[in-house]
Structure formats: structure tokens, C-alpha cells
């Protein structure tokens, strides 16, 4: 790879939108004995909780040390569901292009891929996904790969203005020292590597000088992450997107070959302030101004009320709005499978369901096995009545979830469980930290969801998502 150029120029796009296939991403259920549904749900619940804990107490990104655009009407990419609970999108980088699958993640910002033929992944020995089968990007095979220098302004995307360039004379711009390595945490996994400048290639569009993480070592990360958060290193920020949207297909936590489009809108195809017909909108909430910069990457929502059936659950305001310390409030996160609620909020919601479904027997043992709850036995019932779960946002927009988005059959047709998770009561002994409610991808199935970045609002509408 050649020496890093000192400055990068980003040219304005004349492309209106990009469409990418979005599909469910998987590796968990294939490794379970006899595809045990109880253990599968347990792992999904545990991973959702681990993800929530990481989002609530994020570690800052830290160094591992003391141009041409073609005209087009749309750019799309397939978005596909996978058995572990996430969604996958394939992106192409380099010259010539190398296509890599990524996990679609609105809760983080860096885009990174498994990198070099020597990429190592600890804890990735999943049946059917041996480390040798992980798709890697090979920089030496791309003529456009450049290591980002420490004095390059884009090095500050991750490390801020206080990045230390050891061995560089601060009075000269001719330093050839590379930007420091990064280390990132993702719930149960982690990754480490260096920053590259590369070409991001779509069918009708090329984005030059795109900052991409070249990860060399990871733990439990068999695929890269496509960060769609609010940080400057995210894909939406680097492409200067006006909005992006998706419709997540319903999943059975398997590897069904289905996908829908992830739409990336650069803005030339719509009027400023225009709304997508049929969508309900609510403004994004301002991110809390706290010392941990990771909180600035999240998409905070103005969740005002939660209803179970016709009953409003009386959630204390401190959980609905982030305080000056960053604790409380709600965010939306495609990287979380099940919606997370802090224990006091979860208990109020769970109690509302238990009260309104008291004619069904509780399955406490099943709750222990799966990590979900409340669970109910519905055997012998000619018809089952389940109260609706509704989230109401600022401006009156209501997300009235279909039953399949918040209850699931478990093991047989006799048992159902609420697919909302919370942490262990002991884990909250030290007090609240971070967002109190995290809206996960399971609850977003069969919704057209739009992140309108230009107008700083969140739009949604129920829709049957199909290829």
C-alpha cells in the first residue's frame, strides 16, 4: 500500500439514492444441538442484554498504545435477516472491487471489515462458519488502498482532536506515521485494526477516500460492521446522506435467502422538508451532552408513553428523557435483536401484561430457560387474547406493534413469551446508566422505517416487507 495522502477531498454526489439488499445475518442457531429453540432464544436474549449493556456503558474508541460520481436515480443494497437476530448488507470496496458482508448497525459509526489474509477471529469457530470461510478484504489486491496518516484530518474521526502522533514533528505536515490502531467493543465481541482510505463502489456510484476500518484481530465477530450511527466516520456521514430507510423482513432466526432494500438517499431526488407518503414522523431527540462521545452516535427518540392494551403504563419521566448525566431516554438500534428496557420500566410493562393475561397460566420455568418473560401457557384455548403493545412518540406518532413483533411461540404452539428483555436486578445496584429503552430490530419487523437526517426526524409505518 502506498503512503497515505495528507488530505482527502470529498466530492458532492449527484446521485439521488442508493438501494442495497438487506438480509438477516446468522451464525447462532446452526451451532445449537438439534437447533434447540429454547437455547436459541436464550442466546438471543443474552446477546440483546449484552448489547444493551455495551450501549449503556460504551467504552470510548481508543488507540492500541500508551472522485467521480455517476448520475443515477437510486442506489440500493439488499438487506437480509440472519438467524442470530441481525441483518446483513453487502458492500464493495477497492480497485478492483471486493464484496464483503457487513452487519447493519445504527448503534455504532465505524465501518470495518475483516482485513488481510491473516485476519484472526477468536470465538468464531461456529459450525458452518470456520474462520477460513470468513470473507476478508485484502488491501494488497486493491490499487486504491491507502493507510490513513496520523496527521490526516480523518484520523480525528475516531480519536478526536487530541490524537497523539508519536514520532511526528507537530510543526510539519510531512509526517508518515500512521493513524493509531483502534479497539472497539460490541456487546459480546470486539475488534482491533487500522484505518484505511478506500473506494466504496455501487453500481452507479463511486465514493472515493472512504474511511474504513481494516480489522486484523477480533473476538466473536465473524463479519464486519457497517456503522450507520451519527458519528463522522459512519456511512451516512461520509456519504452525506439526507436520509436512509429500510423495511426489515420478518425472520424465523434461520438463513432463509430473502432480502429487502436498504435505501440510501443523497438528496437530489426530493424537496427539502418533504415527507414520505404514509409515514408517521417524530423528531429525533437531542443527544445528551456528556463526556462520553459514544452517546453522540445514537439516534435518540422522543418516546412519551407506553400502552399495554388500553392501559397506559406509568413510566417515570426520568426513564423517558436522558438527564444531564446521559442516563435515561430511548434510542433505536438495528444491532439489538430484542427491545431492551431497564428493570423498573420492564417490570411495569411485564406486570401490565401479566395482569391483563391473568386467565392464562404463567410458565416460570420456561422464563428461566429462555431469558424471556412473562411466558404463558395457552394450550387448550380456542382463541387467545393478547393486549396490544404501543409506543407513542412526541407529535402523536404511534407504533402499534403487531402481535408477532412482541410475542413469540416457544418450543410448541402451547407457550408464548414476550420478546422484550431486561438486565438482572443485581446489575442495576450501582444506579442507572445510559439509555433506559433500546428499540431493537425484532420490534421493527414489517415496518417501513426512515431516518430523515436532513430534517432530524424518525418516520415509520407498518408494511408487509417482502423481496
> Which residues participate in catalysis according to the annotation?
105, 333
Q: Which helix (H) or strand (E) holds 364?
A: helix 364-370
Rounded Cα gap, residues 372 and 246, in angstroms: 27
Q: What span, in angstroms and rounded, lies between the C-alpha atoms of 176 and 403?
A: 57
Burial-class residue 3 by CB neighbours within 10 Å (0-12, 13-18, 19+): exposed
In whole angstroms, give the CA distance from residue 146 to residue 158.
17
Residues 125, 131: contact at Cβ < 8 Å? yes
β-strands 420-421, 339-341 pairing: parallel
Which of 117, 408, 380, 95 minimizes the C-alpha distance to 253? 408
What length does the chain have? 467
Cβ atoms within 10 Å of 162's Cβ, excluding its own: 6
- Measured CA to CA, the distance from residue 336 to residue 421 in angstroms comes to 11
φ/ψ (deg, to 5) at 261 = -85, 140
Q: Which residues partner with 372 through β-bridges?
A: none
CA distance 33 to 109: 35
Grid coordinates in use for 80?
A: 437480509
Tell me the pairing of strands 339-341 and 398-400: unpaired
Q: C-alpha distances in angstroms, 467 versus 88, 279, 402?
A: 14, 20, 20
DSSP structure string for 184-240: EEETTEEEEEEEEEEEEEETTEEEEEEEEEEEEEEES--SEEEE-SSSTTSHHHHTT
**Three-class DSSP labels, 251-304:** CCCCCCCCCEEEEEECCCCCCCCCCCCCCEEEEEECCCCCCCHHHHHCEEECEE
Distance, CA of 399 to chain centre:
19
Please state the three-class secondary structure of 90-153 as a single string.
EEEECCCCEEEEEEEECCCCCCEEEECCCCEEECCCECCECHHHCCCECHHHCCCCEECECCCH
Amino acid at each position: 500500500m502506498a503512503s497515505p495522502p495528507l488530505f482527502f477531498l470529498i466530492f458532492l454526489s449527484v446521485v439521488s439514492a442508493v438501494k442495497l439488499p438487506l438480509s438477516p445475518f446468522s451464525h447462532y442457531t446452526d451451532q445449537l444441538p438439534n437447533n434447540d429453540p429454547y437455547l436459541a432464544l436464550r442466546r438471543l436474549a443474552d446477546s440483546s442484554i449484552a448489547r444493551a449493556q455495551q450501549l449503556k456503558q460504551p467504552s470510548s474508541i481508543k488507540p492500541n498504545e500508551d472522485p467521480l460520481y455517476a448520475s443515477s436515480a437510486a442506489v440500493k443494497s439488499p438487506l437480509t435477516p440472519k438467524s442470530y437476530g441481525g441483518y446483513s448488507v453487502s458492500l464493495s470496496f477497492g480497485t478492483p472491487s471486493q464484496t464483503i458482508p457487513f452487519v447493519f448497525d445504527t448503534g455504532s459509526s465505524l465501518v470495518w471489515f475483516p482485513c488481510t489474509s491473516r485476519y484472526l477471529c477468536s470465538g468464531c469457530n461456529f459450525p458452518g462458519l470456520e474462520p477460513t470461510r470468513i470473507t476478508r478484504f485484502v488491501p494488497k489486491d486493491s490499487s486504491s488502498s491507502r493507510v490513513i496518516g496520523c496527521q490526516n484530518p480523518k484520523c480525528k474521526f475516531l480519536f478526536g482532536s487530541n490524537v497523539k502522533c508519536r514520532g511526528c514533528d507537530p510543526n510539519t505536515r510531512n509526517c508518515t506515521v500512521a493513524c493509531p490502531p483502534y479497539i472497539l467493543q460490541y456487546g459480546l465481541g470486539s475488534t482491533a485494526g487500522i484505518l484505511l482510505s478506500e473506494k466504496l463502489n455501487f453500481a452507479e456510484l463511486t465514493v472515493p477516500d472512504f474511511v474504513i476500518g481494516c480489522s486484523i484481530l477480533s473476538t466473536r465477530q465473524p463479519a464486519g460492521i457497517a456503522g450507520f450511527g451519527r458519528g463522522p466516520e459512519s456511512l451516512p456521514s461520509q456519504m452525506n446522506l439526507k436520509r436512509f430507510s429500510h423495511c426489515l423482513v420478518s425472520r424465523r432466526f434461520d438463513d432463509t435467502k430473502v432480502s429487502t432494500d436498504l435505501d440510501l438517499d443523497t438528496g437530489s431526488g426530493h424537496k427539502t422538508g418533504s415527507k414520505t407518503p404514509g409515514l408517521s414522523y417524530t423528531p429525533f431527540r437531542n443527544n445528551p451532552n456528556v463526556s462520553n462521545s459514544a452517546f453522540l452516535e445514537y439516534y435518540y427518540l422522543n418516546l412519551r408513553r407506553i400502552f399495554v392494551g388500553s392501559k397506559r403504563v406509568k413510566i417515570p419521566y426520568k426513564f423517558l428523557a436522558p438527564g444531564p448525566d446521559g442516563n435515561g431516554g430511548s434510542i433505536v438500534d438495528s444491532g439489538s435483536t430484542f427491545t431492551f428496557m431497564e428493570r423498573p420500566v420492564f417490570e411495569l410493562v411485564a406486570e401490565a401484561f401479566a395482569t391483563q393475561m391473568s386467565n392464562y397460566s404463567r410458565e416460570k420455568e420456561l422464563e428461566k430457560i429462555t431469558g424471556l418473560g412473562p411466558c404463558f401457557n395457552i394450550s387448550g384455548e380456542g382463541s387467545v387474547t393478547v393486549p396490544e403493545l404501543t409506543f407513542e412518540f412526541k407529535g402523536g406518532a404511534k407504533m402499534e406493534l403487531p402481535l408477532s413483533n412482541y410475542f413469540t411461540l416457544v418450543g410448541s404452539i402451547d407457550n408464548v413469551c414476550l420478546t422484550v428483555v431486561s438486565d438482572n436486578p443485581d446489575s442495576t445496584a450501582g444506579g442507572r446508566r445510559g439509555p433506559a429503552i433500546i428499540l431493537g430490530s425484532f420490534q421493527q419487523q414489517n415496518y417501513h422505517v426512515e431516518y430523515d437526517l436532513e430534517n432530524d426526524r424518525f418516520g415509520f409505518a407498518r408494511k408487509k416487507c417482502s423481496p
